[in-house]
Amino acid sequence: MSLEGVGRPGRESPSMANFDELRDFPFFSGLGRDELTHVLPAVHRRQVAAGTFLFQAGDPPTGFYLVVSGRVKVFRESADGQEQALGFFGPGESFAEAALFQEGYPASAITLDDSELFLVQRDTFIRQLGDNPSLALRVIVTLSTKQRRLVRLLEDLTLRDARGRFCHYLAQLLDEDPPSPVTVTLPVPQVTLARLLGVTEETLSRTIRSLRKDGILG
């Protein structure tokens, strides 16, 4: 295996999402045109500069986000300033859905690149759920899937050492039946990956060197 590539929310555009744009997101795929018609008024386009906080932990929730372009990091910060990344989200992905049913955002989110996002406004969207069983089911499935991911992350942080966490992360990037030899391109910078894995950048660098020395990485 070889390895490569080791403020406030931005202005809101007056244009909303259209049907085709929403269908590109797994969260809304499979919904009919009539169902999406009811959702559209809740979805607002935002252009956001890199390094902008979309929200911070504890902020009153305004809604959840869909990433059209760019990248967003969701993370928690301890009282002593230690950061734990919870996830990185790119085009086609959604995040912060849990805030629909909470009094505050459970984590913080910041843009890593200049990004185009859809904000799905909380109050408007919640009103649609009671009249749209398909949409309500989609929310439940999405929240369940993300809960499982958080459980796996917790297992990584508590049950695996740095080497195990990194190898598990690489395995998740592979196709089901990858060719040999395998080339993996990291989707995030090494410093960002270290935060996601809950290790220092120095520890991650040592881990990569060790895997190369053992012939596991090229």
- Entry pTM: 0.67
Q: Which CATH class is domain 7-158?
A: mainly beta
Residues 6+ apart with CB under 8 A from 214: none
Q: What is the pLDDT of residues 27-82, one digit of tens each?
A: 787 778 888 888 888 999 999 999 999 999 999 999 999 999 999 999 988 777 77
Query: In the predicted model, is pLDDT for residue 156 greater than 70?
Result: no
Residues 6+ apart with CB under 8 A from 138: 27, 28, 30, 31
Q: In the sheet that 83-89 helps form, which strands lie side by side, from edge to edge?
A: 53-55, 108-111, 72-77, 83-89
For the chain, where do the domains classified as CATH 2.60.120.10 start and end? Answer: 7-158
